Amino acid sequence: MRRSLIPLCAVMIVGLGFFLSSCEARSESAPGWSLKDLSSKTVKLSDFKGKIVVLNFWATWCPPCVAEIPDFIDFEKKYQDKNVVVIGLSLDAIQPSAVAAFAKKNGMNYPIVMATSEVAEAYGADNGIPLTLFVAPDGTVAAKMLGIASPAYLEKNVQKLMRAGATK
């Protein structure tokens, strides 16, 4: 029985290595999008050109997504005046009004848009959520994290971009 676990462990280690490498910065351009916010206003990624943009793919039915919301609320408060914006991209199949009620109940203080399956696929969110990406002011993806984005992860990546002269 022990011998049969060795190949399984090897596959898991290789898989973990692949997962961790997928979280590294890539310098790829962030795919553009034009989506509706919770009040049906059109919001585009290009609206935030020149800012550090933190994209968080999430859903109301996703427990890890809900667990990280307080950290995004605190992060938004801390960086709202520092050329940094958090945008929640909801993958919910429910009405935007239901997502808006959820956002209000949970005190979400950052913009939320209703993502499409095409946008989710373009960013890799079709492979799982929560998914958080840091988009540099030049439009490149600077960091990508599948799973709960801890406050330390958020802080590390925004500070790295700020030190690089990304914000004024």
Kindly state the average pLDDT of the residues 112-141: 97
User: In which band, very low, low, confident or very high, does the pLDDT at 92 lie, cut at 50, 70 and 90?
Assistant: very high
What is the separation of C-alpha 84 from the centre of its chain, rounded to a whole number of angstroms? Answer: 13
pLDDT of 26 above 70: no
- Topology of 26-163 in CATH? Glutaredoxin (3.40.30)
Percent of the chain with pLDDT over 70: 82
pLDDT of 12 above 60: no
The structural domains of the chain, with segments of one domain joined by +, span 26-163
Model pLDDT, residue 11:
32
- Catalytic machinery residues: 65
User: In which band, very low, low, confident or very high, does the pLDDT at 27 lie, cut at 50, 70 and 90?
Assistant: low
Backbone torsion region of residue 40, taken as left when φ is above 0, otherwise alpha when ψ lies between -120 and 50, otherwise beta: left
d(CA 26, CA 144): 9
d(CA 78, CA 74): 6
pLDDT of 40 above 60: yes
pTM for this predicted structure:
0.82
Task: Give the model confidence (pLDDT) of 54-68 as tens digits.
Answer: 999 999 999 999 999
Of 132, 144, 70, the closest CA to residue 105 belongs to: 70
